[in-house]
Amino acid sequence: MITTPEIVESPAQKIAFIHVTVPRAEIMQAMQAGLAELGNVLKTQGVAPTGPWFTYHFRRPAETFDYRICFPIDKDIKPEGRVEQGELSAAGVVRAVYSGNYTGLGAAWGELMSWIDANDLNSREDLWERYLVGPDSSAHPEEWRTELNRPLA
């Protein structure tokens, strides 16, 4: 389900983001609207993302999702609407890649957390998912790849 987890250093990254807090049932609508808004602001400001988009979660999602929809950038942006500029801090993380439809992400995170526990590692509450290959680049869910990142305490 996931690749063998590894511990890596994730460098600091300048980001453009929209902060969203929504009930679980509204996640897809919020994600689509946020991505469109974020992409439009970057385009109008002439800033191209420097890598795949990702979501940064302040805590593991439960009945509500409290997260940021993010694009990595290397130029400053002006805040506009809900779009802000920030930074994903450098951190040591446990990382694995999940292959498949987004409906399997919960189980993939469970597998990663089991690996963290089995290896006696302490992780923080926050986490992020980087969408390496998704519906925007492949119509086949079995080809989708999501990088899972859980920072170590």
**β pairing state of 54-57 and 91-99:** unpaired
How far are the Cα atoms of 22, 89, 92, 152 from residue 147, in angstroms, in the given order?
22, 17, 15, 16
pLDDT at position 63 is: 86
1 within a domain of the structure (yes/no): no
pLDDT at position 83 is: 98
82 within a domain of the structure (yes/no): yes
104 within a domain of the structure (yes/no): yes
SS3 call for 40: helix
31 within a domain of the structure (yes/no): yes
Q: How many domains does the chain have?
A: 1
Domain housing 27: 6-151
pLDDT tens sequence for the chain (153 residues): 899 999 999 999 999 999 999 998 998 899 999 999 999 999 999 999 999 999 999 988 788 999 999 999 999 999 999 999 999 999 999 999 999 999 999 999 999 999 999 999 999 999 999 999 988 888 898 999 999 999 999
Whole-angstrom distance between the N-terminal and C-terminal Cα of the chain?
A: 25
pTM of the model: 0.93
What is the rounded distance in angstroms from the CA atom of residue 139 to the CA atom of residue 101? Answer: 11
**CATH number for the domain including 103?**
3.20.80.10
- Report yes or no: 47 and 73 within 8 Å, Cβ to Cβ: yes
